[in-house]
Structure formats: C-alpha cells, structure tokens
Amino acid sequence: MYRVKVEGYFSSAHNLRAYKGKCETLHGHNWKVEVTVAGKALDKTGMVMDFTVLKAHLAKVTEDLDHRYLNSIAYFKKANPTSEYIARYIYGRLKPRIRGIESVTVWESQNSSATYQRV
C-alpha cells in the first residue's frame, strides 16, 4: 500500500455548544489540515496521486472555511464545530473528488489534533 500526504491551512473562529470551559466562548485557531490518500497501485507516472492536484482539492475546501465563523456554516449548525467534526466535514467534501482518500487530520494547535478516516 502506498500513501501520500499533503497539508493545508486555514484560520477561523468557533465556539463549542454544550461545553463548559474556555472553548464555549468565541475563539479562533490557525488550523493545519493533513490529508492522506492511499492506493495499492501507482498510475503510469508512478504516483498514487499528483501532490499538486491533491493540494488544489484541499485548498478549495479550506478556502470555504478560511476567515469564517464556523458555527454559521450549515453543517456546523447541527454538528458542534469540534476538531473531530471539522475533520469529518473536510473528509466528506473531499471524498467525491479524490479516489483513495484515507483520512483527514485537523490540528487546532501544535500538539492537539483529531483524525477522521474511512473504516
């Protein structure tokens, strides 16, 4: 199995509902997003997927999140905008575009991340 990964970034604000603590108030993060694509075979150029193409797909999704209040996005009106749900949201937006997407990891700080992956 081959795996390739790319990273992207966006900045946004959110607040967590039904949470007692600092994160219940409005705050922001500079998010790092890591996308992993896997495949058993390589294409004719010897790639699972071209990094440039993968980065472009990720950039299109993160562009819609950048400098936004996440709670105002339709998906996050029902799903609490936790790192876990943000990873799932990005995965869901990428899945129709990318064959072999395996996981999305969202970092809200240098030492805190959440991953959503296919089962």
- The dihedral region occupied by 87, where left means phi > 0, alpha psi between -120 and 50, and beta the remainder, is alpha
Q: Residue 26 burial (CB < 10 Å; 0-12/13-18/19+)?
A: exposed
- 79-119 tens-digit pLDDT: 999 999 999 999 999 999 999 999 999 999 999 999 999 87
Q: Which two tokens stand for residue 95?
A: 């899945």
Domains and CATH numbers, the chain: 2-117 (3.30.479.10)
User: Which whole number is the average pLDDT over 64-86?
Assistant: 98
User: Which whole number is the average pLDDT over 20-43?
Assistant: 96
**Per-residue pLDDT at 118:** 81
Q: What is d(CA 59, CA 53) in angstroms, rounded to the nearest whole number?
A: 10
Q: What is d(CA 34, CA 94) in angstroms, rounded to the nearest whole number?
A: 12
Distance of CA 66 to the CA centre of its chain: 12
Q: Which two tokens stand for residue 104?
A: 């999305």
Model pTM score? 0.95
Catalytic (active-site) positions: 23, 67, 108
pLDDT at residue 67 tops 90: yes
User: Sorting pLDDT into bands at 50, 70 and 90, what band is 73?
Assistant: very high
